[in-house]
Amino acid sequence: MPKPFRLALVGTGMVTRSSHLPAALASDKLEVVALVDSVRKRAKELARWYGISPYIVPRVQDVFGDIDGAVIATPNDTHMSVALACLEAGVPTLIEKPLASTYAEGEAIVRAGRQYGAVVAVGYMVRFRENILLLGDLLKDGYFGTIRRFVHQAGTVGGWSSLSSYHLSRKAAGGGVLIVNGTHFLNCMLHFWGYPDDLVLEDDAQGGPEANCIARFRYRTTNAPFEGVVLYSKTTELPKGIVIETDRGIVQLADSDDADSIIFRSHTYPEVKQTVRRSGKAPYPLNMNVFQRQLEDFAGACLEGRRPMIDGDQGLMSLRLHEELYARRKSLRTDWYSDLSANGAS
């Protein structure tokens, strides 16, 4: 049996605790040799929680020579400095989404990856879901027909919160709900259809990161132009999912890690729901968690000298999209009583 790929997990906050570390421990292809965090106590507690004894160090540089790759799961505005330190030492990096908090920082990471010949992968774990993999293949083949429109939405009241609360700072996160929730689908959108020709964003930010946003996209340069709308909220529960209208019918899929099928309803028989599922061997075992798939893909890319499923260039394209959306942002309505007359009280 080949030696496991030795990982350092940089940042021991929520996503490492709940996703990267358990996924790495579930894999016999990976070994967690170091937990890196400036808050030593947090890293030690995490190691104790999972009953492991990795190196506990404040800087990733302290374990260069003992690791084959690093997973960077620190606040978004710190990705660049950690990634550059790794890449300059030839250490491949899997960087939690988004690649960085600005396009310029992302570009520096991708450039360093090329210069030092080290893999840069980006943690868009949604792309490893079976129904997204299948949808990507089927859309490419035109299985569902010609696309007319698409929608995607995700909304939670509260929910996920980082230990450092970095997501409450626009500077640290690089944005608001668009970055926290929306970027996953937007990355899928870029993968399915490429970069849109037109885009516009409305959000409710008033100096901080937006809590709600609506973005609209238009693809004009294809043979059959189509458009889409995405809605993200951190104040309202919105059922998560994707709906695509084609000339043949409606394609729908739940936005969840365990959904493995796609629902199709033809325009001719809308009352009949067809479940579309892969009949052959799936690219990944269905019982394997998406974070484990992502980590194993990263390790595989490093060992086999191939590109990871989501490389730095794709992460950069997502950053370009975010920045263009924010550059074209308009204000979303927030004063719900504005067109109403008050009773007269001040």
Partner 1 sequence: MKRVAILGASGFVGATLVERLLEQRKAEIVPFIHNSGNAMRLARLGIDLPAVDLLDQKQLDMALRGCTHVVNCALGNAHAATRGLRNLLAASRKNKVQRFIHLSSVLVYGDPPPPDSVHESAQTHPTGTYGRVKLQQDRMVQQACRAGLPSIILCPPNISGPYSAFLIKLVDALRAGAFALVDDGNTPCNLVDVSNLAYAIEIALDTGTADGKRMFITDDEKITWHDVIKSLIPVAECIEPVGVTREELRCLHGTNGKSSFSVMRSLKHVVSREVRAALRKDPFWAKVEEGLSQGVTRLGKVVEERLRLSIAGPTAITKPNGTQPYNMHLTAQQLRGVRHDCDLAKQELGYKPVYTFAASMAAFSAWYRSQHGMDTGDWDLLKLLY
Q: Under the rule (CB under 8 A), what is the footprint of partner 1?
A: 149-151, 153, 155, 157-162, 165, 167-170, 176-177, 204-212, 214, 216, 229, 231, 233-241, 243, 245, 250, 252, 332-333, 336-337, 339-345
20 vs 167, beta carbon nearer partner 1 = 167
Tell me how far apart the alpha carbons of residues 184 and 127 are, in angstroms, rounded to a whole number.
8
DSSP 344: S
DSSP 168: G
Residue 338 Cβ, how far from partner 1 at the closest point, in Å? 9
Tell me how far apart the alpha carbons of residues 253 and 183 are, in angstroms, rounded to a whole number.
17
Residue 325 Cβ, how far from partner 1 at the closest point, in Å? 16
Residue 91 Cβ, how far from partner 1 at the closest point, in Å? 31
Give residue 173's Cα distance to chain centre.
13
115 vs 146, beta carbon nearer partner 1 = 146
Residue 328 Cβ, how far from partner 1 at the closest point, in Å? 17
Tell me how far apart the alpha carbons of residues 76 and 276 are, in angstroms, rounded to a whole number.
37
Residue 271 Cβ, how far from partner 1 at the closest point, in Å? 13
123 vs 209, beta carbon nearer partner 1 = 209
Contact 318, 98 (CB under 8 A): yes
Nearest to 67 by CA among 28, 97, 93: 93
Tell me how far apart the alpha carbons of residues 227 and 262 are, in angstroms, rounded to a whole number.
21
Residue 119 corresponds to which tokens in the numbers above? 């893999």
110 vs 179, beta carbon nearer partner 1 = 179
24 vs 211, beta carbon nearer partner 1 = 211
